[in-house]
Amino acid sequence: MIPAPFSDRLAALLARGQRTILGIAGPPGSGKSTFAAALLAHAQAHGLTQSVILPMDGYHLANAELARLGRATRKGAEDTFDSAGYVHLLARLRQQQADEVIYAPQFLREIEEAIAGSIAIPADTRLIITEGNYLLLDRGHWSRVRPLLDEVWYVDVDPAVRLQRLIARHVQFGRSPEEAEAWVMHSDEINAALIETTRSRADQIVRRD
């Protein structure tokens, strides 16, 4: 269920009659993916079948590369993504040719790796919902993301709820409760503190309590 203010805002963006690229940002565990999926379902239920979700997580560096760089224990930090590649994809989507299909990678938590060419985006795609942690970060290649998006909505949630979700997610994908909690406190929460500093740059704040 999408609250009326956000369904109305989405309708206004789409009423312009051109491709809309909507960013959904927020810290780990805030519910970005769930909200993006709800937005997609809402759009498709209202006849917008030419719509797709494009997760930023597809640009995670491969585990072997993270190990080579000495960043494996910080997976999810801003420098563990191919941020330039993500920017390049968004720029291509802004200039997509009528006969072109653009393919994007998708991150699979089951194997903790991204798979290239997993998401097909035809030229007639009207709505692209891209979600990720660092869409509003104003440094490095990340600073080039915001100008390529029509709007960015920031998903906010009670910190205690967010921590519970994160720990449960890590347990679901193979960590023990102790390992999950340690990872959350020493990795995810460091990233969350940085991401929360970007909140003021969002066009809309979405409360997901």
Residue 29, CA atoms < 13 Å, CB-side half-sphere: 23
pLDDT of residue 1: 75
Place of tokens 């991204």: 114
Q: Tens-digit pLDDT profile for the chain (209 aa)?
A: 788 999 999 999 999 999 999 999 999 988 899 999 999 999 999 999 999 999 999 999 999 999 999 999 999 999 999 999 999 999 999 999 999 999 999 999 889 899 999 999 999 999 999 999 999 999 999 999 999 999 999 999 988 888 888 888 878 877 888 887 777 778 788 899 999 999 999 999 999 77
Strand, coil or helix: what is 11? helix
Q: Which amino acid is located at 144 in the chain?
A: R
Strand 113-121 relative to strand 127-132, pairing: unpaired
Considering the entire predicted model, what is its pTM? 0.92
Distance between CA 109 and CA 32 in Å, rounded?
15
CA angle 22, 27, 32 (to 5 degrees): 45
Strand, coil or helix: what is 47? coil
Are 105 and 121 a contacting pair, CB within 8 Å?
Answer: no
DSSP state of 149: S
Sequence-separated (6 or more) residues with CB below 8 Å from residue 160: none
pLDDT of residue 166: 81
Distance between CA 209 and CA 201 in Å, rounded?
21
Residue 208, phi then psi, degrees to nearest 5: -120, 35
Q: Across the chain, where does the E strand assignment appear?
A: 20-25, 51-55, 102-108, 113-121, 127-132, 151-156, 204-207
Place of tokens 């993500």: 86
pLDDT of residue 155: 96
pLDDT of residue 82: 98
pLDDT of residue 106: 97
CA distances from 79 to 26, 70, 172 (A): 17, 11, 25
Are 175 and 125 a contacting pair, CB within 8 Å?
Answer: no
Q: CB 209: neighbour CB atoms within 10 A?
A: 7
